[in-house]
Structure 1
Amino acid sequence: MFKKIICCLIAMCAVFLLNTGIIHAADKKTINFIAVGDSLTEGVGDTTTQQGYTKRTAQIIADKYDVKVKTANYGKAGDRSDQILKRIKANPKAIKQLKKADVIALTVGGNDLQQTLFKGIFSKSEQDVTKYVAQAMPNYTENLIALVNFIEKQNNNAPIYLFGNYNPLYVYLANRDDLNADVKIYNDINANLASADQRVYYVSTFKTLTYGQYTTKIAREKLRASAKLANRGSLNNSMVTKALQVKAQNERNHYITTQDHYHPNDTGYDKMSALLAQKMAATKQEWLKINDKK
């Protein structure tokens, strides 16, 4: 009887310690982190060897949870949503690594949006530009669903962290409300998919990378006023062309690279990685704990 009482007390203590987080049971020792997507996954603009957010996030996770993180990066600059899917489907190594992934990160939509905007950027009004974006929504939605469904079929357990996009031209065209609205249209598609799919988590980068160091409303209002004076609120696209094509010593957004005025720089990828790590921390039970289903 005494032994039974001791065993019961030990069991009760173990349950208490687990529930209070004092001890951790069944945590994975190694995490397979697979990144899929476009140039943001490839790491364009990153001057280090960390592949943008991929290895930065891996290091944060390794340090925070005392685990080994193995990474694989399948990002390619310029790929639209349909091209990402086609490329991954044709890559046996990528499929193999997706199957054993514990975490999957995905950047998609930026090139779909960019190509749509460039088709409409010479329109006569802001409304016409947004009309082009709205017309492209069904096609992008279909492609995104197909891409996520394919990834989920390869791995029925790993959470997918789906990034949103940002407006790299905001600091030059802060008075062009339509450009922010157009980015948000695409972001809403990503966010809505995440809301409807319990395995997908949306990681928003819009405020952080769009506004950069202009974090206060007052700072953004001043920026808006200066942009209005610069282009008179018109659809003069010389500023867009200059912002995207002319290399300069300084970039007005401190998180965007001077290489192309479009992609994050090292600081931008630091910010992006921190946002992903934060979302992963809030959902760590999905990837850190050993799951018998896998």
Structure 2
Amino acid sequence: MKRKIVAICIFGLLAATGCMAERTGNLGAEPDSEINKQEASEVNAPKTIKLVGIGDSLTKGIGDESGHGGYFGMVKDKIEEQDHIKEVSVKNFGVKGHKTSNLQAKLQEEAVIKSVEEADIILMTIGGNDIMNVVRSNIFSLDFEPFRTEQKNYEKRLKDVFTTIRHHNSNAYIVFIGLYNPFQSMLPELPEINTIINEWNVNTKQMINKDDKAIFVSVDQLFSNDHDERLFYKDEFHPNEKGYSLIAGEVFKAIKEIDFERFNNEK
């Protein structure tokens, strides 16, 4: 009888030990499972994108009377509509009338530097006023020479702009919106302007393509003469709401190719 009791006790002890081992094993597995879930959650969690605008009046949104803020505000809204994006924080430093020389100076300001350092995407328009300056200075004797001379100076300044941005932020995507011809209505007798715009765009694109995180977005085709809709503001220089919406569409098309998942992980 005693042997039976001892055997039952030993069996019970072994069974209890087995249960405890099983429970201990389960307890040990739970943290790993929770960690995996947490990691997966972090990977799939909606991201906050920091969007910064620099440049001239196009980035400022001059001419858009809808209140959307031009292409910059429209692109911001399009990004924010994506399921994997939590929100888009914005800083817009576009200034009406700015040329590349002004942008060089702007990038020395403390607030701009801080925003560039933190940016995930930088949207930029610049160059239209550089060309306009040549037009104004040579209005009675326009030919290719002054534009091509200024083009070299423009490219040097733009290269310096990119160098400054990369000094402060090597990871951000820089989206550069190319030039269009705003003089088609004002100066229809000067079709040579199209050639000038094309030359500036081609050379700028070649320079930008050397940066593997910079994107050149072509928009000159949007404002060609064969477009049926009115795309310019009443000043015949800046886009109107429709014009900006077309630019925003092209910019967002390029941005969609960006790997948003890496944001918030490299900072």
Tell me if both proteins adopt one fold, taking TM over 0.5 as the criterion. yes
CA offset digits 1:176-231 (Å, max 9, x no partner):
330101111221232111222112100111000244624xxxxxxxxxxxxxxxxx
**3-state SS of paired residue (1:196):** coil
| Counterpart in the other structure of 1:257 | 233
Tell me the CA shift for residue 141 of structure 1. Answer: 0.7
Q: Does 1:192 align with 2:168?
A: no
- Is the aligned partner of 1:144 residue 2:158? yes
Correspondence 1:278 to 2:253: yes
Question: Given the alignment of the two structures, is residue 107 of structure 1 paired with residue 125 of structure 2, yes or no?
Answer: yes
Corresponding position of 1:249 = none
* Residue 96 of structure 2 corresponds to residue 73 of structure 1: no
Partner of 2:101: 82
Q: Whose radius of gyration is greater, 1 or 2?
A: 2
Deviates more, 1:164-173 or 1:41-50: 164-173
1:24 Cα deviation from its structure 2 partner: 10
Aligned pair partner of 2:167 in 138, 148, 153:
153
Partner Cα separation in structure 2 for residue 131 and residue 27 of structure 1: 54
- 8 Å contact kept, 2:53–2:122: yes
Task: Check whether the contact 1:54–1:273 (CA below 8 A) recurs between aligned residues.
Answer: yes
How far, CA to CA, are the matches of 1:41 and 1:212 in structure 2?
25
| Structure 2 counterpart of 1:230 | none
* Alignment match, 1:60: 78
Q: RMSD of aligned C-alpha atoms?
A: 2.6
The DSSP-based 3-state class of the residue aligned with 2:262 is: coil
Q: Are residues 1:98 and 2:112 paired? A: no
Unaligned runs of 5+ in 1: 1-17, 215-252
* Letter of the 2:248 counterpart: S
Aligned residue type for 1:74: F
Cα offset, 1:265, TM superposition: 0.3
User: Any conservation in 1 of the 2:58–2:238 contact (CA below 8 Å)?
Assistant: yes
Once the 2 structures are TM-superposed, how far is the Cα of residue 51 of structure 1 from its aligned partner?
A: 2.0
Q: What pairs with 1:1-294 in structure 2 (closer than 5 Å)?
A: 25-26=43-44, 29-67=47-85, 68-90=87-109, 92-123=110-141, 129-171=143-185, 173-174=187-188, 176-211=190-225, 213-214=227-228, 254-258=230-234, 260-282=235-257, 284-285=258-259, 287-290=260-263, 292-294=265-267
Residues 27 and 289, structure 1, Cα contact 8 Å, conserved in 2 = no
SS at match of 2:251: helix
User: Equivalents in 2 of 1:37, 1:213: separation in Å?
Assistant: 26
Give the conservation status (yes or no) of the 8 Å contact 1:105–1:162.
yes
Separation of aligned partners in 1, 2:83 and 2:189: 43
Please state how far the C-alpha of 1:49 moved relative to its aligned partner: 2.7
* 8 Å CA contact 2:63, 2:233 repeated in 1: yes
The gaps in structure 2 that reach 5 residues or longer are: 1-39
Q: d(CA) in 1 for partners of 2:54 and 2:159? A: 15
Distance (Å, rounded) in 1 between the aligned partners of 2:45 and 2:250: 23
Contact 1:212 1:255 in 2 (8 A): no
Name the CA shift for 1:27/1:144 in 2 (closer, same or farther; >3 Å). farther
Amino acid in structure 1 at the alignment position of 2:92: N
Q: Distance in 2 between matches of 1:113 and 1:166?
A: 11
Give 1:138 shift: 1.5
What SS does structure 2 have at the residue aligned with 1:162?
strand
Whole-angstrom distance in 2 between the partners of 1:104 and 1:257: 25
Distance 1:274 1:79 in 2: 24
Q: Percent identity among equivalent residues?
A: 25
Moved runs in structure 1, 4+ residues, more than 3 A? 23-28, 171-176, 290-293
Instruction: Verify the 8 A CA contact 2:70 2:244 in the aligned structure 1.
Output: yes
In 1, Cα distance between the equivalents of 2:211 and 2:43? 28
